[in-house]
Amino acid sequence: MARPSAPVIVITGTPGTGKTTHAQLLCNESPIPLRHINVGDWVKEKGLYEEYDDEWQSYTVDEDRLLDELEPVVAEGGVVLDWHTCEVFPERWADLVVVLRCDHSQLWERLEKRGYPLKKVQENNEAEIMQVVLEEARSSYPEEIVIELKSETMEDMEANISRIVEWITEWRKQQAKSI
């Protein structure tokens, strides 16, 4: 199979850490065209769920159907997958896994502003404190492709996007050498 001409980047983190904003900015600033897929929105739009959980205000994702839908898109490369979890994606898919982190008190405020129920705010806040998403990424992908980035201010976001754009430039150089 031919290697894609653009990478697959996973941007993950606890809800409220800025995944979607980062993904959109990255697609705008990338030196090569990238397609942003907000996986949560995809699940809803394509009906890739088993049920809706009223208590948690979230969908129970049908992971097999999700992966079947994403496979041909990811195979083309040039994709930014934006989701609060990453372990579901096969290791072979990702060229870079970015885990966004945020101070838990700031995260609490962000989730409250979204109108999340207290139980959901508490669970997500606890997940951030316990580094659940970071540990998930580290146990699912090679260490060298997982990066942890702080996402608390606009300055953080700008620095993160610059760093990922630099990574894309290097990735392209490496791909050109291997041809």
For 120-130, write each residue's pLDDT tens digit.
999 999 999 99
- CA dist 54 to 27, 116, 136, 170, Å? 33, 12, 26, 44
The pLDDT value recorded for residue 53 is 87
**Binding site annotation covers 40?**
no
**Binding site annotation covers 78?**
no
Q: In this predicted model, which residue has the larger pLDDT, 13 or 55?
A: 13
Q: Which pTM value belongs to this model?
A: 0.95
> Where are the domain boundaries for CATH 3.40.50.300 in the chain?
95-171
Taking the C-alpha atoms of residue 94 and residue 81, their distance in angstroms, rounded to an integer, is: 9
Taking the C-alpha atoms of residue 177 and residue 60, their distance in angstroms, rounded to an integer, is: 43
Residue matched to tokens 């129970």: 60
Q: Return the exposure string of 73-95: e unless at least 16 CB atoms fall within 10 Å of the residue's CB, then b.
A: ebeebbbbbbbbbbeebeeebbb
**Binding site annotation covers 18?**
yes
**Portion of the chain with pLDDT greater than 90, in percent:** 91
**Binding site annotation covers 17?**
no
Q: Does domain 95-171 have CATH number 3.40.50.800?
A: no
**Binding site annotation covers 153?**
no
Taking the C-alpha atoms of residue 3 and residue 1, their distance in angstroms, rounded to an integer, is: 6
Taking the C-alpha atoms of residue 89 and residue 79, their distance in angstroms, rounded to an integer, is: 13
Question: Which whole number is the average pLDDT over 117-143?
Answer: 96
Residue 164 pLDDT > 90 = yes
Lowest mean pLDDT among 42-46, 56-60, 151-155: 56-60
Digit-coded pLDDT (tens) for 100-109: 999 999 999 9
**Binding site annotation covers 19?**
yes
